[in-house]
Structure 1
Amino acid sequence: KQAEEEAKELVSQMWKTVTLHCFEMMSEVTQWGFKMKQTTGRALIPQTRDERLTTMTAYIYKEQNRPEEERFAKPDLAAIIMVRDALKANVTAYQIANTQQKNYGEQCASLIQRLSDYLQASAIDILARNFSMKLSTQLQNWGFEVALKRRKPSKTNDPAPVNGTTTASSANGSTNGSTSTAVSAEGQASADDNDGLLSSLTD
């Protein structure tokens, strides 16, 4: 933050010095990194951090390539170089931190997806070994949450289909009926018929 404030002050001094020096030929300010507004012919003061960094770098390059006796006395070139380097270091540190944060987020997303895949595979394995691929509230014994949902009856007067009823099972696995089943651990599974066929496993 301090480097940015110092950069603002130095760039303002640089602008005053350069525009005064180039008063009769304002287009020459571009040699020191300043931009011009074509409609007015005025030299523009950099407004953003990146603009200031670019202008300071161009200014330093220009001054270092001029004979020492012709260089501007103010602001001090050494001070400009020091602040420019500090500002550049801040930008680099921010970019590194931002990249690391993005990479961390991508790694977390990848790990979560892998965990979800493992949970789904585990649920399928348990169903295959113990329940002949039929969903059961007993999956709670392996840490999965099980809920049985009732299908909405059709608008006709026909009786509701058998695979209709209930909501969440109790801790001992008992239910009020039914068969649309959801399982999570924290992955989920569901089935929509009395045979309990596994229709999906999602996280």
Structure 2
Amino acid sequence: MTETKQPTLTILAGPTAVGKGTVAQYLRDNYPQIWFSVSATTRDPRPGEEEGTHYYFVSDEEFDAMINNHQMLEWAQVHNSYRYGTIRSKVEQALEAGRHVFLEIDLQGARQIRNQMPEANFIFLAPPSWDELVRRLKGRGTESAAEQAERLDTAKIELACEPEFDVTIINETPSQAAQEIVEYIGLQ
């Protein structure tokens, strides 16, 4: 058994539909020592999503106020429509309490955090192949054909950002990717 690293901030990012949410859920279910940040978003809830568990669903006006009051550690507008952000105070409180903090965010947010907290772990989650990424996106059934096309265009740009990260983990399966993540951050 290896020694656990000092509690730190870990960022998980990657292209749309790569399975970030599924891998994060596997980590939530199997590694209770990790504290997961819950993002604020301006989009409507998807079926099964709960306020405060999956996201904090806020209006555009509320989101603007959080930005203006420096309450966001990072935020981004994603797919030219909705905004997502990490509430600064919640992350800081968890780190101060000695928790391993985990953020599942987009590339814009990862870049903002890199500028503010370069000591964080930055993990890029990659698909096994382009065809698998397309299959996963279409298999979700949560976006229209036009939205899928837009997300795939964005995914091409996002995949090119891989070198900005400390390590790349290929998401063959959620359990395998999660295992590689916990090994990387020293929780084994």
Common fold, TM-score beyond 0.5? no
Larger RCO (CA under 8 A, 6+ residues apart): 2
Q: TM-score w.r.t. structure 1 length?
A: 0.21
